[in-house]
Amino acid sequence: MIEGILAGLFRQGTTILWWICKLSTPDKLHLYEPCHQDLFDILSKWQKGMKDQMHKLPLWDDYLEIPSEHLEVMRQRHDNFNGVIEWNKQLEQYLDAINAIPSPCILQPCRLNFVLFDLKLRYGCEIVSIVRNPIDTWFAHFPYADIDHLMTMSFDKSDGDPFYTNDFYASLQQKYDLPPLCNFEQFAIVWTLANYYAICASDAVISYDRVVDKPAYEFMKINRKCKTMQFDVMYADLIKKYTHIYDDKIRRKFEIRFEQTVAEFGIDAYYDRVMHYVESV
């Protein structure tokens, strides 16, 4: 049964918060990225206790606890859900299969921000969304890039973002007849709308920026708000402080471009609403 959703865009702290939630409530199944396009290829090679190469965590272990008949139905209904901005029958049937699992499940998707309200209505689940400052989120897309590569990928390229910005923007572009934009401008629109949709559907909102600043304090605040998830303060040390790669001058350049983009497309009020949650104490 889908009991809760811990949602957020890529690079917003979703993985480490999912891991802490899993450690804090081990009696539930914590299904990491159930809409990952390669999920069942990964599971075909996965053994309990293995660690993911990128995050160095046993991300997929809980899938091995799902009864085989339920996992097979999931496999049959699984599809590529990248860039989903509207509820659809394929997604519904896949999530219905997860909801049929006879154990309480917490899902951690990075691809479902736009349809969280649909999930809440259909499954009666708790929605907890994670937000993070957009500039830190974007810089985390290219954590090892030198400044020239960052600038090229941000302002000269319109594809090749490693965290699916282009997929989301392509869906929005088709629906709203949006113009071609560079990667960073696409990100400005996707980040704003995806996070706005998420906070509107949420029972609780976690500011990753605030968690990084005061993890134990923020965990105690979050725990008072959440019914299906907990974040034990004993794991607060797993939250690491930011390492700022680029100087303030570069950062300001991105901030200005981001604010110009959301203003140009008339979504600055949505941006302000999300930033309220990012920065709120």
HEC readout, 134-167: HHHHHHCCCCCCCHHHHHHHHHHCCCCCCCCHHH
Q: What's the pLDDT band for 136 if we cut at 50, 70, 90? A: very high
How confident is the model over 63-95, as pLDDT tens digits? Answer: 999 999 999 999 999 999 999 999 999 999 999
Determine contact, residues 33/136, Cβ cutoff 8 Å.
Answer: no
Mean pLDDT of 173-201: 98
Q: Which residue has the tokens 């810089």?
A: 139
Helix (H) or strand (E) holding 128: strand 126-131
Cα separation, 59 vs 38, whole angstroms: 13
- Chain centroid offset of residue 122 CA: 20
Mean pLDDT of 235-251: 87
Position 208 pLDDT exceeds 60: yes
Determine contact, residues 88/118, Cβ cutoff 8 Å.
Answer: no
Q: What's the pLDDT band for 281 if we cut at 50, 70, 90? A: low
